[in-house]
């Protein structure tokens, strides 16, 4: 019986190795990213009289994904967003947001010209407003996915990536839940 179980487990593991044999196991993504920042839950002393539901910050995103087989992998994701929007009646409010998250990724049709993926990323983020007057670190999560177009065996273009980015900051002593949308596009190198 032990021999049979060992043979079945070995065949199971080797089937995953065979599926991933022709595909690169690692991907590095880098590109432009835009964050639509939710302003609905701002502290009353900051958000009073402010009617714009969102502000936009531009920045970058980088990610490393290791695939264990053809479809399942793990991703480490980092991003930074910057801007000086007119906000709360204040001109040029220096705003910075950095995220650092990781989690599972599921890819569909990685060996085709157009492929898709979905991920659930968990980690943290840092928000800084003004010249550092308001700074906070918080738990963050991103749930989303996107589409990639293969250029050749080593390179792809990320056509679009859309994530729901959630975080809870304590700005000026007031808890603020953020429900943001993150958009990204860029290049992927596979090895």
Which domains can be identified in the chain, with CATH numbers? 24-190 (2.40.160.20)
Round to whole Å and give the CA distance between 65 and 87.
36
pLDDT score recorded for residue 130:
77
Digit-coded pLDDT (tens) for 75-129: 999 999 999 876 555 566 788 999 999 999 999 999 999 999 999 999 999 988 8
pLDDT score recorded for residue 88:
57
pTM, two decimal places = 0.81
What Å distances lie between residue 170 and 20, 22, 126, 129, 173, CA to CA? 44, 48, 11, 12, 6
Residues of the chain with pLDDT under 70: 1, 3-21, 40-53, 86-92, 132, 172
């Amino acid at each position: 019986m032990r021999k049979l179980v060992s043979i079945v487990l070995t065949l199971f593991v080797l089937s995953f190795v065979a599926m991933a044999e022709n595909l690169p196991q690692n991907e590095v993504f880098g590109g432009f990213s835009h964050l639509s920042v939710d302003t609905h839950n701002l502290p009353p002393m900051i958000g009073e009289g402010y009617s714009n539901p969102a502000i936009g910050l531009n920045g970058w995103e980088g990610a490393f994904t290791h695939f264990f087989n053809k479809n399942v992998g793990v991703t480490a994701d980092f991003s930074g967003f910057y801007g000086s929007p007119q906000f709360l009646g204040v001109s040029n409010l220096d705003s910075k947001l950095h995220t650092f998250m990781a989690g599972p990724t599921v890819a569909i049709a990685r060996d085709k010209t157009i492929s898709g993926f979905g991920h659930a990323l968990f980690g943290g983020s840092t928000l800084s407003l003004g010249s550092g007057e308001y700074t906070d670190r918080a738990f963050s999560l991103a749930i989303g996915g996107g589409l990639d177009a293969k250029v050749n065996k080593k390179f792809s273009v990320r056509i679009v990536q859309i994530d729901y980015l959630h975080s809870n900051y304590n700005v000026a002593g007031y808890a603020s839940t953020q429900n943001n949308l993150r958009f990204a596009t860029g290049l992927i190198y596979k090895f």
